Amino acid sequence: MGTRTRASLSFGLRAGRAMRYLRAMVGLTQTGLTETAAWKDLVAHARELDGERIDALLARDPGRATRWVREVAGLRVDLAKHRATEQTLTLLVALAEARGLPAAIARMFAGERINATEGRAVLHVALRNRSGRPVEVDGVDVMPEVRAVLDAMRAFAREVRDGTLRGARGDRFADVVNVGIGGSDLGPMMVCEALHPHWIDGPIRPHFVSNVDPAHLGRTLHGLRPETTLFVVASKTFTTQETLANARAARAWLVDALGEGAVGAHFAAVSTNHEEVGKFGISRERTFGFWDWVGGRYSLWSAIGLPIALAIGFEGFEALLAGAHEVDEHLRTAPLAENVPALLALLGVWYANFLGAESWAVLPYAQALHRLPAWLQQGDMESNGKSVDLQGHSIDDYTTGPIVWGEPGTNGQHAFYQLLHQGTRLVPVDFLAALQPDWPREGTPEPLATMLRDQHLLLLSNVIAQAEALMVGKSLSAARRELEAQGLSPDEVARLAPHKVFEGNRPSTTITFDRLDPRTLGALLALYEHRIFAQGVIWGVNSFDQWGVELGKQLAKTVEAELRGSASASEHDASTEALIAEVRRASR
Ligand code: F6P
Per residue in 168-215, pLDDT tens? 999 999 999 999 999 999 999 999 999 999 999 999 999 999 999 999
| Cα 157 to ligand 1 centre (Å) | 24
Atom of ligand 1 nearest to the CA of 382: 6
HSE of 63, CA atoms in CB hemisphere, 13 A: 3
Residue 31 pLDDT: 54
Q: Name the percent of the chain lying above pLDDT 70.
A: 95
- pLDDT over 70 (residue 13): no
Residue 565 pLDDT: 86
- pLDDT over 90 (residue 2): no
pTM for the whole thing? 0.94
- pLDDT over 90 (residue 492): yes
CB 237 near ligand 1, within 6 Å: yes
Cβ atoms of residues 55 and 471 within 8 Å: yes
| Cα 184 to ligand 1 centre (Å) | 7
Question: What's the average model confidence in pLDDT over 326-340?
Answer: 98
| Cα 340 to ligand 1 centre (Å) | 29
| Cα 206 to ligand 1 centre (Å) | 20
| Closest by Cα among 127, 121, 99 to 525 | 127
CB 182 near ligand 1, within 6 Å: yes
Q: For ligand 1, pick from 184, 378, 386, 553 the residue to mutate: most ligand atoms within 8 Å of CB.
A: 184
Tell the residue nearest (CA) to atom 8 of ligand 1: 183
**CA quadruple 93, 98, 99, 103: dihedral sign:** positive
Q: What are phi and psi of 110, to 5 degrees?
A: -80, 0
CB 243 near ligand 1, within 6 Å: yes
Q: How far apart are CA 182 and CA 240, in angstroms?
A: 10
Residue 12 pLDDT: 47
Question: What's the average model confidence in pLDDT over 500-516?
Answer: 98
| Cα 402 to ligand 1 centre (Å) | 21
Per residue in 533-584, pLDDT tens? 999 999 999 999 999 999 999 999 999 999 998 777 778 999 999 999 999 9
Atom of ligand 1 nearest to the CA of 549: 1
- pLDDT over 70 (residue 9): no
Residue 343 pLDDT: 98
- pLDDT over 50 (residue 436): yes
Residue 534 pLDDT: 98
CB 271 near ligand 1, within 6 Å: no
Q: What is the 8-class DSSP label of residue 171?
A: P
Cβ atoms of residues 305 and 285 within 8 Å: no
Q: For ligand 1, pick from 117, 178, 181 the residue to mutate: most ligand atoms within 8 Å of CB.
A: 181
DSSP 440-500: S-TTPPTTHHHHHHHHHHHHHHHHHHHHHHHHH-B-HHHHHHHHHHTT--HHHHHHHGGGG
Average pLDDT, the chain: 94
Atom of ligand 1 nearest to the CA of 184: 14
Q: Name the percent of the chain lying above pLDDT 90.
A: 93
Q: What is the band of 16 on the pLDDT scale with cuts at 50, 70, 90?
A: low
Residue 15 pLDDT: 52
CB 240 near ligand 1, within 6 Å: yes
Q: What is the band of 145 on the pLDDT scale with cuts at 50, 70, 90?
A: very high
From 16-30, 42-56, 249-263, 317-331, the region with the lowest mean pLDDT: 16-30
From 53-57, 67-71, 562-566, the region with the lowest mean pLDDT: 562-566
| Residue type present at position 134 | P
| Residue type present at position 11 | F
Per residue in 345-393, pLDDT tens? 999 999 999 999 999 999 999 999 999 999 999 999 999 999 999 999 9
- pLDDT over 60 (residue 4): no
Question: What's the average model confidence in pLDDT over 19-44?
Answer: 73
Per residue in 108-132, pLDDT tens? 999 999 999 999 999 999 999 999 9
CB 43 near ligand 1, within 6 Å: no
Q: What is the band of 3 on the pLDDT scale with cuts at 50, 70, 90?
A: very low
In what helix (H) or strand (E) does residue 360 lie, and over which residues does it extend? strand 359-365
User: Active-site positions?
Assistant: 382, 414, 553
Greater model confidence, 29 or 458: 458
| Cα 381 to ligand 1 centre (Å) | 14
